[in-house]
Structure 1
C-alpha cells in the first residue's frame, strides 16, 4: 500500500496542531476528534458506542473478518449459496418505483457479457440516486438475494471504478463492528475503514516500536507499524497472519509483563507479617480435632502457605481445588497459624449462602477449641454488628467470616494478618482492594477457587500470584458416576431414585428455569415440582423446593429441612450450585442438562459425592442436541477432572464468561484468544521471565520502551501493586 510508505508530509487538516499534540501526548493518546473526518459529533458517538477516545483506540478496533475483493463474479455465476459477491459493470438504467412510503430505487447493472442485475435500495434513496450516473462503470459489492428465482443485490456498496483504484487497495477488505447509531453518522464498516485509512495515512510514521529487540528477533516478529497497517489493510493472507501473530504476542506480552513485574514490586515493597510460630491452636487442631486425615495435596499446600508466611514477604497465593477437595480445612489451618502469631484473620465469600456454609463448617470444626469465630453478612442484626465491631477492634475476636459486608468502613481490625478470599472472580478489583487495606501493613492474601481454571487463563488472570493446586479428594470418597439419559428413561429414573431413597439417601433435582417461558419448550421448575410430587406422593416421600425468588427465610427453612433429612428430594434451581453440603445426598439429577454450561454442570455435580457412599449424577436431556451440547454432556460422562473440563469449556466458550474476567480488570483482550493462542501466551510469558531475570527493574537501555510503558500506565491507571 504505497501511501503508507515512509514519508515526512502530513495530509491531515491542521497538521502543525497534530504534530504538536502527538509530541505532547504521544500518537496513540491523541484525542480522536483531531483526526481528519472526525468532528465533535462523530467523536462523541465513537466514544459512546465503541469506547474509541484516542488514535490508539481506533487502531485497536480491529476488523472481525475480511472479505476477499480479488474476485469479480459474472452475473450468470450468482447462486443462492454465495455469501458475498463483487461485480463490475455499467449502470444502464435507474428508476424510482412504488408509492411514497414504499418507494425503492432500482438501478440496472450490465456486465461485460451483457447480463443484467438489479441493484435495489429502500433507504437513503434520494442521496444514493444523485450519485449514480448512467453510462458509468461501477464496482458493486454485497450479499445477493433471490426473488422468484431471479437474483438482485439489495443495498450494495457501489463505487466508481475510476475512484476505487485510488484508495483502500487491499486484497482482503476489513469488516468492522458498528452499531445502528454509528450508521446514522455514516460510520458503518466503510466509514470506519475510511477513518482508519486516514489515521494511518496521517500518522503511520509516528507508530514507534514498543517491544525490545530480543523478542522481535527471536520470534521473527513484524514491526508494530507494519503489523497495524497489515491487520487493517492486508496485502495478502500471509501478511495478515503475520500481523495478527505479532499483535497477539504484544497483547499477551504486556499482560504478562504487568503481572510479573508487579509481582516483583509487591515482594520488594511489601514486607509480610512473620508467622514464625506454629502454636497451640494449629497443633491442637491438627492433633486432636481434625475431622479426617489430610490428603498429600492438602499437606503440600499448607507447607507452601507456611513457607510464604514465614518468608518476611507478603503472601499472594491462589489455591485451586476441585469441588470437595478440602479447601476449607486448608483455609482454617492457615487462619489458626495467623492466630498463633498474634494476628486476626478473615474470610470473604461472594454470597450469603456460601459465607454461612463456611461459618457453620468452621464453627463445627472449632467447637471444642477456644477460638471465637463470627459471621458478618447483610442479614446480621444491628445489635449483633455493634458487638462484633467492638470485639474486632479490641482484638478479642480473632476470626471473622463474611460477605462483601467485610469491606464496609465500620469493619476495623486490630491486627489483620491474613485475608482469605473465596471465589475471588465474583468480586470486583476495588472490593478486594478495600479489604486489602484493612491493616497498616499488608496482610497475607490467600485466594481460593473451586472453579478449576485452565492453565492459560490462570497464567493471565492470576499470573502475579503463586499457585497451589489441591488435586486429590479426601480418602474414602468414591468418584461420582455420571450418566446421560433421555426422556424415555424417565420411569426407570424414578425407580432408581426410589431405590436410593429406600437406602436412606437423598436426591437433588435441578431445573434451569423458575417459571414457564413461551420461547423455551423445556420443563420449568414449577411444572417439575408438580410432576415430582405426583410421582413421589406423600406421606411416603417428602419434597423440598428452593429457588432464587423465595425469601431468604423460606429458602433457609427448606434447605435446613433437607440438610436435617426431613425431606427426601430437593427440587431446585442453580441456587444450590454452591454453599450446600449434605453428605447424605447421593444423586444429582440435572433436567435439561443441555441448557447448562460445562462449569455449571461440574459445580452442580459437586453437590453430591460428599459422603462415603457411591453417588450419581444423571444428566437428562432431549434427543435434539447441538454439537456443542453433545460435547458438554459427553465430557461430563467421560471425566470428573475439573481441570480437563475447564479446558474443554474454554475452547467452547472462550475466556470472557469463565472467570468473570470482564470485570476482573486484568483480561482485556482485543485480538488474542486464550483457547487458540496458548502457545503464543506461553512464549510471551517465557520472554517476560527472561527479561525480568536479567533486568528486574527494567533499567537497561535495551528495555527502555518497557520502562516508558509502565511510566505511562502509572499515570492513567489505579495502582495495581496494591491489589491482590
Structure 2
C-alpha cells in the first residue's frame, strides 16, 4: 500500500486550481495524470522582471516592469473585431499603449481603471517606431508589488495550455507537497551539499539564475539522484529475488557443441569463447543465471546462444529461444536447423501463426520432451505452452521486452530456468545499468573472421539518379540491395506511403525485381517477400525500418538509406548492419536532404568514421540524451523525468553502488533508512519492487 504521506502527490491534476476537464487532458498529455507528475515537470527557462526603466528608455524585445498611470481606454469599433483594444499608459517621461486582442471591456476597466497607478510587466514591442506592450504578463496595484514575481520560471508547454495556468497549478502542487523522511545516506548528502527533498523540489521550481536550470545545480542533481536511486534499488531487489530462487547446476559434456563447431564455417572468436566461459560458469552454479549478452551487429550472438542452449540439451533438459517478431523467429529457426541437424538435436518453431493440429502436435511433443529446442515469439508466454523440463531460455532483442516478461519466462521452468538475454543494439554503459541492473553483462566486441568493413558514404539527395544507376550496376553483378525509406514524422501510415511511392518509382525502373515490406503488411505477406529476396527472385527490397533488427541475407551488399538525417544513430547502425554479412564487399549510402542541422551532421559524420557499435551508442547518448535512445515508451527501458543520463552518469554509478550496498546489508529494508527508502520506491512508482520484500 502506498504510504499515506504520499496521497497528496498522487491526487489527480484536476484537483489543482484552474485545471478543469479541458486543461486536465492537456496537462496529462504533457506531464502525466498526478500532481507528482506535474512536479517532475521542471522549468526550462527564466524571465527576469527586475529591469524597471521609464517609458522613454524601454528597448524593443526586452522584458520590462513599468510603474505607470492609466489613461484613455480606446475600444475597437463595434463591427471590426480585428482591431485591438488599446489602453494608453504614461509616466513622467512619455506614454505608450497596452494592446489587447479579443478583450472583455469590463475586465480591462476593472484591471486598469483610468487615472490610477499600476505596475505592468511584459515584453516591449516597437510598432512603427514607438513602444507598446501586448497582453502584459502581470498587472498589479502598487501596494501589492510583492505579488509580482521578479524572477519567473517558464515551463515547456503543449498546444492549448497557457503558461500562466501551468505555473499556477505547479505552485499549488508545491504547496501540497509533504516533507518526506530523508532516504539519502547523510555523509553522501553532506559531501554533495544537497538540500532535503522538499527544499530541492521547491528550489528547482523557483530558480534565481540561469545556473539553477543546469542539471548539475544542487537541487536538480539531488532530485535526479533520488530518481536514479529508486530505479537502481528496484532493479537490485528484482535481481536479489531472481537470484534467491534456487537454480540448478547445468553442466553439459560438450558432445553436441563439438558437432556444431565442426559444422560451422568459421572458428569462434575470442570474445565468443570468453562469453561462453562466463555463461558456462553461471549455468554450472546453483543460482539462476540472468545474463545480458551484448553484441554488435554481426558479432555472432546467435551462435553463442545456441551453444548455451546445447549445454542444457546435453544435460538432458530443454531450451527455448524467443524473438520479438515472427520474421526473426522463422529466420532463427531456419538458421539453426542445419546446425541442430548436424548434432542430432530436435528443433521446432512456435509462433502465433501455428494453429490447429500442427500446434497441438508441437505442444504435445514439447510436453513429452521430444523437442529439445523451441524457437518462437511471444507465443512462448501463452499458458498452454508447457515444457517437460525448460532449463535455458534465450531472449533475443531484449530491449523489446521489459523486466516483467523476464520474470514471466523464468516462471515457465519450474525448478530454475537460466535466462540469457541477447541484444544487437549496443547500449551505453549508463543505459545498461538503468535497464539491466538486475543482470550480469557479457560483451562481444569482435566480428567473425572474413567480415569486411562496410564502405559508408554520404550522398546528397540531388544525386538520386546517380544512386539509382549505382544500384543498377550492383544488381547486374547479382548483388542484392536494400532501399530504406524515410521516417515521416511519427506516423506509421505516412512511412508506408513514402515506401509505396519509392517502390512505385523503382518498379518503373527495375520492373519485377523490386519487392516491398512495411509494418502494416500481414506477417505471411512479409515473410513471402523476404523469402523471395533471400532466394534472389527479388534483388531490390524497398522497406520501412521493419528490417532494422536481425534480418540476415548474406548476398545483400548494398544499403541505401533515404533521408538518413532523420534517423537516430543506433537505428542507422542497425540498418547498416543488414549488409556486410557475407564475404562480398558492401556499401552503405546515406542519402541526405539539406540543409542538415548540427546534430544530424554529427550523426552522419560518426557513421562515416566508425563501425564500432559501442562507440556509436555512447555518441548517440551524448547527442540525443537517453529519453529517445531506444524509444523508451516502446522498449521496456525506464523513462526518466528528472535524471538526464548523459549529464548524470556519475550519479547513476553512485546510485548503482548505493543500491547494491543497501540490498546486501538490509535485504528486506528493515534497517534505519528502510521506511524512507520504501517511501522513495512508492514516490517514483517502483511499487513492483516492494512486492519482493518479505514484509512488503
Are 1:327 and 2:301 matched, yes or no?
yes
Q: Which of residues 433, 440, 452 is equivalent to 1:466?
A: 440
Q: How many Å separate the matches in 1 of 2:495 and 2:282?
A: 53
Write the deviation string for residues 684-703 of structure 1: whole angstroms up to 9, x where unpaired.
33444455555555554356
Cα offset for 1:128?
A: 4.6
- Residue 409 of structure 1: aligned partner: 383
The alpha-carbon deviation at position 50 of structure 1 amounts to 6.0
Deviation of the 1:442 alpha carbon? 4.0
2:399 counterpart residue number:
425
CA 1:400–1:126: 2 relative to 1, 3 Å: farther
The CA deviation at 1:676 is: 2.3
What are the ranges of 5 or more consecutive residues in structure 1 without an aligned counterpart?
1-21
For 2:456 and 2:338, how far apart are their aligned partners in 1? Answer: 31
Give the counterpart of 1:575 among 533, 543, 546: 546
Residue pairs, 1:328-407, within 5 angstroms:
328-407=302-381
Q: How many Å separate the matches in 1 of 2:446 and 2:561?
A: 25
Whole-Å separation in 2 of the counterparts to 1:111 and 1:40 = 40
Contact 2:49 2:65 in 1 (8 A): yes
Distance 1:280 1:150 in 2: 90
Q: CA deviation at 1:148?
A: 4.5
The offset of 1:69, in angstroms, is 2.7
Alpha-carbon distance, 1:58 to partner: 4.7
Change (3 A) 1:425 1:108: farther
Q: Hey, what does 2:140 align to over in structure 1?
A: 160
In structure 1, which of residues 162, 177, 191 is the aligned counterpart of residue 168 of structure 2?
A: 191
Q: How many residues align?
A: 686
What corresponds to 1:275 in structure 2? 250
Scaled by the length of structure 1, the TM-score of the pair is 0.84
Give the counterpart of 1:97 among 72, 76, 94. 76
Once the two structures are TM-superposed, the CA of residue 605 in structure 1 deviates from its matched residue by 0.6
**Structure 1 counterpart SS, 2:443:** strand
Q: Indicate if the aligned counterparts of 2:485 and 2:498 stay in contact, CA closer than 8 A.
A: yes
Instruction: Tell whether 2:589 aligns with 1:618.
Output: yes
1:139-288 → structure 2 map (5 Å cutoff): 139-145=119-125, 147-148=127-128, 150-162=130-142, 164-167=144-147, 169=149, 171-177=150-156, 188-196=165-173, 198-199=175-176, 206-237=179-210, 241-267=217-243, 269-286=244-261, 288=262
State which drifts further: 701-710 or 325-334.
701-710
Q: State how far apart, in whole Å, the 2-side matches of 1:652 and 1:316 are.
A: 31
Q: Distance in 2 between matches of 1:658 and 1:234?
A: 29
Q: Distance in 2 between matches of 1:54 and 1:623?
A: 42
**More moved, 222-231 vs 54-63:** 54-63
Separation in 1, partners of 2:351, 2:327: 10
**Residues 1:545 and 1:193: Cα distance change in structure 2 (over 3 Å):** closer
Q: Are 2:484 and 1:507 equivalent residues in the alignment? A: no
DSSP 3-state at the match of 1:97: coil
TM value normalised by structure 2: 0.87
- After the TM superposition, which residues 74-89 of structure 1 pair with which residues of structure 2 at under 5 Å, given as runs? 74-76=54-56, 81-82=61-62, 84-89=63-68
Alignment check: 8 A CA contact 1:138 1:158 kept: no
Aligned partners of 2:88 and 2:95 also within 8 Å: no
Q: What does 1:507-586 align with in structure 2 at a 5 Å threshold?
A: 507-512=481-486, 524-533=498-507, 535-536=509-510, 542-586=513-557
The structural deviation recorded for 1:362 is 1.2
Residues 719 and 190 of structure 1, relative CA distance in 2, 3 Å threshold: closer
Query: Against the structure 1 CA distance between its residues 81 and 646, is the aligned structure 2 distance closer, same or farther, given a 3 Å change threshold?
Result: farther
Which stretch shifts more, 313-322 or 156-165?
A: 156-165
Show CA shifts across 1:12-55 (max 9, x none).
xxxxxxxxxx9954576574699885899799769855666666
Matched, 1:72 2:52: yes
What is the CA deviation profile of residues 279-302 of structure 1, one whole-angstrom value per residue up to 9, with x for unaligned ones?
43334323x323421111111111
Q: Which residue of 2 aligns with 1:450?
A: 424
CA contact (8 A) 2:487 2:495 kept: no
Shift, 1:551, TM fit: 4.5
- Give the 3-state SS of the residue equivalent to 2:343 in structure 1: coil
Secondary structure (helix, strand or coil) at the match of 1:331 reads helix
Residue 436 in structure 1 maps to residue 410 in structure 2: yes
Inter-partner Cα distance in structure 2 for 1:552 and 1:265: 37
Q: Is the 8 A contact 1:27 1:55 kept in 2?
A: no
1:15 aligned partner: none
Q: CA RMSD of the aligned region, Å?
A: 3.7
Instruction: Please name the residue that 2:650 is paired with.
Output: 679
Instruction: Give 1:665 shift.
Output: 5.9
1:14 counterpart residue number: none
For residues 710 and 623 of structure 1, the distance between their equivalents in structure 2, rounded to whole angstroms, comes to 47
Unaligned runs of 5+ in 2: none
Which segment drifts farther, 640-649 or 303-312?
A: 640-649
Deviation at 1:211, TM superposition (A): 1.4
Task: Note the C-alpha offset of 1:371.
Answer: 1.6
Distance in 2 between the 1:334 and 1:168 partners? 67
CA distance in 1, matches of 2:41, 2:345: 55
| 354-363 or 690-699, which deviates more | 690-699
Task: Flag the 1:685–1:68 CA change in 2: closer, same or farther, 3 A.
Answer: farther
- Give the match's secondary structure for 1:366: helix
- Partner deviation per Cα, 1:434-454 (whole Å, 9 max, x = no partner): 333223344222111111111
For residues 356 and 273 of structure 2, the distance between their equivalents in structure 1, rounded to whole angstroms, comes to 40
Q: Is the 8 A contact 2:231 2:686 kept in 1?
A: no
- Tell me the equivalent position of 1:17: none
